[in-house]
Every structure is written in structure tokens, then in C-alpha cells.
């Protein structure tokens, strides 16, 4: 196994490539940031937003998909306070909110004075989707990812609001696209990357008793519906020098609160508060599958932004990435599964490029061992 020479991502990281110098594609794209004229980029962003603004004030100016996290605060701050536009906030509720996450979401809506659609599917259906997502894709949070990238588009079509303002996108984080590409939201990326090639129809089955009406929230609008409204999704991260730490500073000024207790699998306390599993059991499965976890994500971003050294990142990865967090047991009770069954299923998703068995125990190479050599 190889790791990036600049950050802490392994070569098993999803959609990453390495150049001949051993630098990952994400770091190569991050190196573009100092060369970009961010003032000109933001001016272009304003032009797009004002072009779509409801001129007669008869409708919303745009839709912002929000979770209530630090980045949601920043998106809403830019649209509402900096540009003076009237957005409609749309949230998918996957039944996973931490208490502080829900408090932040409610505060954000009130402090910025925005209308807000909070979409909550049936709890019974979501429990079934948790089980199926885990068994089919190795990700109990598949339903959450699907809802986040479906409910806002449904709202855009229903309320005929064409412009959607997303935050950052994963394509520049892993280096699949240059920051100069100005990529936009597409149905293809939604399914192939964000939903791993699955869609709602794959979860309609007899074992769990899920039918089409149970998953209407997950049914993506047709091409004809999207074209009729002219729905377009752009990423704010293409137009500002995106830094989650600075977004957190802005969010705090508007009442955003970090998690009051440390997470077990990462050093950050201001990320993923809308989802108890994102830093926990969902992230544990990424570690099981690909040999890296949330701390690798957080540390690599902070290394690229100059907030951490690579050596500091390696020590954080050593401390957090392999931890089995206690929310595993919360989830097992939630879906009615034994821990034995969980690990039997989890082990089937291990990437054989990463993991091997020695004396009946799964082991892998580690970045701190490479750093010693």
C-alpha cells in the first residue's frame, strides 16, 4: 500500500489517482487554489445568482440544500446576507440527527429568516433502508446520501425554482476534476458516484416489504421535469476559496455550536452533526472496506489548507481511524441486528488490495509504518 507524499490518503481511497511523484490527485487539484483569482470567481457567482433571481419577487430566488452544519450556515450566509437573496432551504431528515445538530438546524432557519422544507420519510421505511443499504452496499447510510441529493431536486421541480446552491463537491477533493472545470450537479454523478451505482428501484423488494410508495422521497425527477423547470445545481466551493475551518468561524458568529463531547473516530467536533453515523459506524465501514476513515478525510483537508503538518495528520490517523465507536451498538439495536451478523456482513466488503488475514485476523499496512522506512 502507498500513501500520498503530501497528505495521508492511501491509494485505495475512492476515485484517487497518484502521479509519478507519489502525490494524490486531490493534492494536485488543491495546488491550483493559490493560482485562482477568487475575486473574479465570486463576481461570476454573483452574476449567475442574480440572473436567476425572481425579478418580480413571486418566487424564491434559489434553493439551498442544507443539513444545518457549518457549511450550511456559510452557504446561507453568502446567499442571504452577502447577496441579499431569498432562498428556500431544503433538508432531508434521515432520522440520524444529534441533539446539537438539530439545534443548529433550527437556529439557522430562524437566525437567517428563511423558509424551510424539512422532509422526513417514514421511520419504518428508513430502518428497512438501513438494513438493506448495509447488506447491499456496505453502507447503512445509503438512504441518507440518496435523500440529500434527491429531496432538494424534488422541491426545485415542485416549486419551480431552477437554481440550486450546493456547498463543496467531492470531485475536487479527490481530484477527479480540476477547480477550473467549474463542475455542476448532474444526475449521472448523483447515481454513479454519490449513490455508488444504485437507485431507489434497487431497494424495492419483498424481504423487507418495501414498495414504490415507501420510496417516493428517493425517486429522482424525470429529465422532462428537470428540463421544464431548467433546474441547475452549482457549487459554492467553485467560487470561493473553500475552507471548512473558516466556514466554522462564520457559523459560530450566527450561533452554530460544535459537538459538546469529542467524537470517537475523528478529532473535529464541528463536522457531520446532522448524522450520528457519519463520523461513526458509517465511517467505520469505510475503514473496513478501504482501510481509511474520517480522520484521514479531515486531516488531509487540513494538511492541504495548511492547518496541519503531514506528521501531525499521521498521528491523528493512528489515534482515530481504527476505533470501533459506540454508536455501532446504538445502530444494532435500531435495526435489530446482532454484532456477530454485523461483522460477518462487514467482512464481505473488505478490499483485498488493503486487507489480508494472518492467523485468522484481518490486518493491513499502515501509514506510520511506511513513514518510518
Do residues 176 and 208 share a domain? yes
Give the span between the Cα atoms of 160 and 60, in whole angstroms. 9
Q: 28 in a domain, yes or no? A: no
DSSP string of 4-73, one letter each residue: -SSSS-BTTSTT--B-TTS-BHHHHHHTTGGGS-HHHHHHHHHHHHHHHS-TTSSS-SEEEE--SSHHHH
Do residues 151 and 68 share a domain? yes
* C-beta neighbour count of 27 within 10 angstroms: 20
Instruction: Record the pTM.
Output: 0.95
Q: 249 in a domain, yes or no? A: no
Q: 24 in a domain, yes or no? A: no
* Domain span at 267: 262-355
Angle separating helix axes 281-290 and 327-335, nearest 10 degrees: 100
Domain edge (last residue) among 238, 270, 296: 238
Do residues 137 and 201 share a domain? yes
Q: 22 in a domain, yes or no? A: no
Do residues 174 and 290 share a domain? no
Q: Give just the sign of the alpha carbon dihedral 157, 160, 161, 163.
A: positive
Cβ atoms of 272 and 279 closer than 8 Å: yes
Helices within the chain (DSSP H only) = 25-30, 38-52, 70-76, 99-112, 123-137, 142-148, 151-158, 170-173, 187-189, 223-229, 244-253, 281-290, 294-304, 310-320, 327-335, 339-347, 367-372
| Number of domains into which the chain is organized | 2
Q: 187 in a domain, yes or no? A: yes
| C-alpha cell of residue 91 | 433538508
pLDDT tens for the chain, 373 residues: list them: 899 999 999 999 988 999 999 999 999 999 999 999 999 999 999 999 999 999 999 999 999 999 999 999 999 999 999 999 999 999 999 998 999 999 999 999 999 999 999 999 999 999 999 999 999 999 999 999 999 999 999 999 999 999 999 999 877 788 889 999 999 999 999 999 999 999 999 999 877 899 999 999 999 999 999 999 999 999 999 999 999 999 999 999 999 999 999 999 999 999 988 888 888 899 999 999 999 999 999 999 999 999 999 999 999 999 999 999 999 999 999 999 999 999 999 999 999 999 999 999 999 999 998 755 4
Do residues 69 and 140 share a domain? yes
Give the span between the Cα atoms of 122 and 100, in whole angstroms. 22
Do residues 80 and 156 share a domain? yes
Place of cell 475575486: 39
Amino acid at each position: 500500500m502507498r500513501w500520498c507524499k503530501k497528505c495521508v490518503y492511501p491509494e485505495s481511497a475512492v476515485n484517487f489517482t497518484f502521479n509519478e511523484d507519489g502525490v494524490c490527485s486531490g493534492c494536485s487539484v488543491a495546488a491550483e487554489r493559490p493560482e485562482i483569482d477568487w475575486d473574479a470567481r465570486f463576481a461570476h457567482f454573483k452574476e449567475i445568482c442574480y440572473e436567476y433571481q425572481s425579478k418580480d419577487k413571486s418566487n424564491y430566488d434559489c434553493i439551498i440544500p442544507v443539513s444545518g452544519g457549518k457549511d450550511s450556515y456559510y452557504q446561507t450566509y453568502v446567499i442571504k446576507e452577502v447577496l441579499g437573496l431569498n432562498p428556500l432551504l431544503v433538508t432531508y431528515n434521515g432520522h440520524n440527527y444529534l441533539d446539537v445538530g438539530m439545534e443548529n438546524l433550527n437556529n439557522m432557519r430562524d437566525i437567517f429568516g428563511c423558509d424551510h422544507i424539512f422532509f422526513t420519510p417514514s421511520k419504518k421505511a428508513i430502518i428497512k433502508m438501513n438494513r438493506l443499504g448495509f447488506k447491499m452496499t456496505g453502507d447503512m447510510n445509503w438512504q441518507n446520501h440518496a435523500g440529500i441529493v434527491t429531496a432538494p431536486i424534488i422541491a426545485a421541480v415542485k416549486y419551480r425554482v431552477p437554481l440550486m446552491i450546493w456547498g463543496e463537491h467531492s470531485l475536487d477533493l479527490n481530484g477527479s476534476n480540476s477547480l477550473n472545470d467549474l463542475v455542476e450537479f448532474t444526475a449521472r454523478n448523483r447515481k454513479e458516484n454519490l449513490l455508488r451505482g444504485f437507485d431507489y428501484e434497487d431497494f424495492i423488494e419483498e424481504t423487507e416489504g418495501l414498495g414504490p410508495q415507501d420510496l417516493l422521497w428517493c425517486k429522482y425527477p424525470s429529465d422532462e421535469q428537470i428540463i421544464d423547470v431548467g433546474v441547475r445545481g452549482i457549487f459554492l466551493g467553485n467560487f470561493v476559496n473553500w475552507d471548512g475551518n473558516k466556514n466554522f468561524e462564520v457559523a459560530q458568529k450566527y450561533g452554530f455550536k460544535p459537538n459538546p463531547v469529542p467524537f470517537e473516530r475523528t478529532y473535529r467536533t464541528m463536522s457531520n452533526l446532522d448524522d450520528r453515523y457519519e463520523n461513526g459506524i458509517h465511517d467505520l465501514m469505510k475503514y473496513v472496506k478501504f482501510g481509511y476513515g474520517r480522520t484521514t478525510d479531515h486531516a488531509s483537508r487540513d494538511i492541504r489548507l495548511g492547518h496541519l503538518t503531514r506528521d501531525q495528520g499521521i498521528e491523528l490517523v493512528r489515534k482515530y481511524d481504527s476505533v470501533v465507536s459506540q454508536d455501532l451498538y446504538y445502530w444494532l439495536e435500531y435495526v435489530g441486528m446482532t454484532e456477530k451478523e454485523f461483522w460477518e456482513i462487514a467482512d464481505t466488503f473488505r478490499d483485498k488490495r488493503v486487507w489480508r488475514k494472518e492467523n485468522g485476523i484481518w490486518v493491513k499496512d499502515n501509514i506510520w509504518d511506511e513513514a518510518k522506512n
